Amino acid sequence: MTTVLWTGCYTADRDGNGEGIGALTADDKGGLTHLGLAVTANSPSFLAVHPSQPVVYAVAEEGKMVRAFRRTGVAELEPFGEPWPAGEAACHVAVDPQGRFIVVTCWGDGQVILYELDDDGAITSRASAEAAVDPHRTDGDEPRPSRAHSSLMLPDGRILTTDLGHDLVRAWTYRPGEGLSSDHHVVLPKGSGPRHMARHSSGTVFVDTEYSIEVAAIRPGPQGILELADVIPASVNKAYDGDSAAEIALSPDGRFAYVGVRGSNRICVLQVGGDGRLAPMADVPSGGDRPRHHLVRDGWLYVAHEGSNDVVSFSLDPNTGLPDGPVSRVETGSPSALIPAVP
């Protein structure tokens, strides 16, 4: 059994070494094989895959746009329609599980943008959502920039987005033909910098914080309103100068969480209780430089290192959740995202 993984990257327009969307295979022994370039693209730093169509969506972080690509072979893609404008430093894209739309979040100017899709997965429209307001700002404070960074689709149809500039998690509802309508928001501690999210089977949403190197737990309260329940350190050790958190991912059984930390180049492993409560367990070296993104799949941890231009695999102990390795390593230019291809 092998799995194809699409790789996002940074290209020369953002001082990266990549050339576009790449492809890897991962076998059942953790072995990685680089299949080469799937399609040329400028800094496709984050990717998402349509749930039922052979379509991949990629932001162009420097180019301020998003584009669809259609799969034409095992590891080949071609442009599918024209690129659509996004915002400054568009850094994340996610797809509705029903394939109705994608959401792009923009680190540079804080925009959250919804693009509707047709039945084939092509982009058909664009609608910007309401701008964020800094809940921590008081009279006399210097304004802080809004920096939308990621989105997460919830089972009830709502959409969450993070704003690491304003320390917010924002909840939205989708209105066909209109875009996103603000539902409510959750305020995190000032300066924490909420970045990426993962939903636990208990209903708790875990948010890693780029600046404070913590994990916030957000749980549904009365009438489904999400509330901040806890904020704990991601690491059993301290955060070091120059550290910034990157991705958070959960094991398939929900017992463990994994947070990547750039700077000190480690993966923080946390234990998750059945009630969704977290406890830091251990830190392990990530196996390279600047672990920007990682993927947990089928008993393996795959880590994309933007700085050392490689992807490495680790086996995961099913009892302790701890990574062992690296088992395999492949070189690829400035990888920034690892997304499984739909079979």
pLDDT one digit per residue (tens) for the chain, 343 residues: 789 999 999 999 999 999 999 999 999 999 999 999 999 999 999 999 999 999 999 999 999 999 999 999 999 999 999 999 999 999 999 999 999 999 999 999 999 999 999 999 999 999 999 999 999 998 888 999 999 999 999 999 999 999 999 999 999 999 999 999 999 999 999 999 999 999 999 999 999 999 999 999 999 998 889 999 999 999 999 889 999 999 999 999 999 999 999 999 999 999 999 888 999 999 999 999 999 999 999 999 999 999 999 999 999 999 999 999 999 999 999 999 999 998 7
In whole angstroms, what is the distance from residue 328 CA to residue 97 CA? 32
144, 154 contact by CB (below 8 A)? no
> What residues contact residue 312 under an 8 Å CB cut-off, 6+ apart?
32, 286, 287, 288, 302, 303, 305, 325, 326, 327, 328, 329
Helix (H/G/I), strand (E/B), else coil: 240: coil
In whole angstroms, what is the distance from residue 131 CA to residue 337 CA? 26
Which amino acid does the sequence have at 28? D
Q: How many CB atoms lie within 10 A of CB 33?
A: 13
In whole angstroms, what is the distance from residue 87 CA to residue 334 CA? 22
- Residue 140 backbone phi and psi in degrees, to 5: 95, -15
Which amino acid does the sequence have at 317? D
What single string gives the DSSP state of each residue in 195-222?
EEEEE-TTS-EEEEETTTTEEEEEEE-G
Of 279, 285, 324, 319, residue with least CA distance to 301: 324
101, 84 contact by CB (below 8 A)? no
